Amino acid sequence: MKTVGLLPAAGIGMRLRPFRYAKELLPVAYERLDEATSGLRPRAVSEFAVEILSSAGVKDLYMIIAPWKLEVFNYFGDGSNFGVNVAFLQQEKACGLPAALNLAYPWVKECVVAMAMPDTIVRPRSCMTQLLTMMKESKADLALGVFPTAQAAQLGPVVLERDVVVAVFDKCENPPAQNTWGIAAWTPRFTELMHDELGRAGQTEKEPVLGEFFNTAIRQGLNVRGLEFVDGAFIDIGTPAGIRHCLSTTSQVPDDGARGD
């Protein structure tokens, strides 16, 4: 079964207001140019999500963008400069992460999906490779990559029993663990579950969060596994604190095995 990548970038960036530029293009780190060229080049934060997908062998990516984020389209183009193939889907109205992912349903419903968030940086670089391997070996319908963080109350902490996901929380006052899910992969079984649940829910004032669908998968008996990267790193660039943390610690994002919280 083919594996494709999903990169949702259609949010309105409320946590960074009044900043209105596409946060996915923030230059948060630098890399050395080739030996024939001196100096450094800035790297946009979303390049790191593309990197972990590409290094896992996922070369066909769908990026969901909003009409006001055409800079992201211009930056990545067809993806050839980044060693991948990129197709863009436009979400006319921001209505939550699950709806953005569901926009890709006609193109991904028969594929394994590997999802990375283009406003976060996760380490190790091999995390998506390891997650897809674990998902295949455990025959999971849904697999979550879980990373340590000191900001669990603002993120999506996960309760694990060994590698089985018991529950997923979202922005809870008293998080059950100092961790958060940061990447995910799933089979068509979860794609269909999310698509059907969104169809039944219809239009509501409250935007659903992805963790609700993870918990629905658990309740419906899907095989939901978690891979905990206890020495990994998770940096959320979607907040001013996250940007300051990334820029103040180092010009280079932490390498494999480095802590980032």
* More confident position, 82 or 26: 82
pLDDT of the residue at 23:
81
- Per-residue pLDDT band at 42 (split at 50, 70, 90): confident
- Tally the domains of the chain: 1
* More confident position, 13 or 260: 13
Mean pLDDT, residues 81-96 taken together: 91
Q: Is the pLDDT of residue 124 over 80?
A: yes
**The domain that contains 53 carries what CATH number?**
3.90.550.10
257 lies in some domain: no
Do 199 and 213 form a contact (C-beta atoms < 8 A)?
no
pLDDT of the residue at 14:
55
254 lies in some domain: no
Could you give the CA distance from residue 231 to residue 247 in angstroms, rounded to a whole number? Answer: 21
pLDDT of the residue at 243:
65
pLDDT of the residue at 217:
98
pLDDT of the residue at 38:
62
pLDDT of the residue at 239:
66
Q: pLDDT tens-digit profile of 175-233?
A: 999 999 999 999 999 999 999 999 887 666 577 899 999 999 999 999 999 999 999 99
- Compute the mean pLDDT over every residue in the chain, rounded to the nearest whole number: 87
pLDDT of the residue at 248:
59
Q: pLDDT tens-digit profile of 53-85?
A: 999 999 999 999 988 888 999 999 999 999 999
Backbone angles phi, psi at 249, to 5 degrees: -80, -45
255 lies in some domain: no
139 lies in some domain: yes
256 lies in some domain: no
Residue-level length of the chain: 261
Q: Is the pLDDT of residue 261 over 70?
A: no
| Structure tokens given for 231 | 């020495």
Query: Could you tell me what percent of the chain has a pLDDT over 90?
Result: 66
215 lies in some domain: yes
pLDDT of the residue at 257:
40
261 lies in some domain: no
129 lies in some domain: yes
Q: What is the pTM of this model?
A: 0.88
Query: Could you tell me what percent of the chain has a pLDDT over 70?
Result: 82
Provide the domain limits for residue 106.
3-249
Mean pLDDT, residues 140-150 taken together: 97
pLDDT of the residue at 30:
73
Give the number of other Cβ atoms within 10 Å of residue 187's Cβ: 21
Kindly report whether the peptide bond that precedes residue 18 is cis, defined as omega within 30 degrees of 0.
Answer: yes
Q: What is the DSSP string of the chain?
A: --EEEEEEE----GGGTT--S-GGG-EEEEEEPPTTS-SEEEEETHHHHHHHHHHTT--EEEEEE-GGGHHHHHHHTTSGGGTSEEEEEE-SS---HHHHHHTTHHHHTTSEEEEE-TTEEEESTTHHHHHHHHHHHHT-SEEEEEEE-S-GGGS--EEEETTEEEEE--S-SS-SSSEEEEEEEE-HHHHHHHHHHHHHH-S-SSPP-HHHHHHHHHHTT--EEEEE-TT-EEEETTSHHHHHHHHHH-SS---TT----
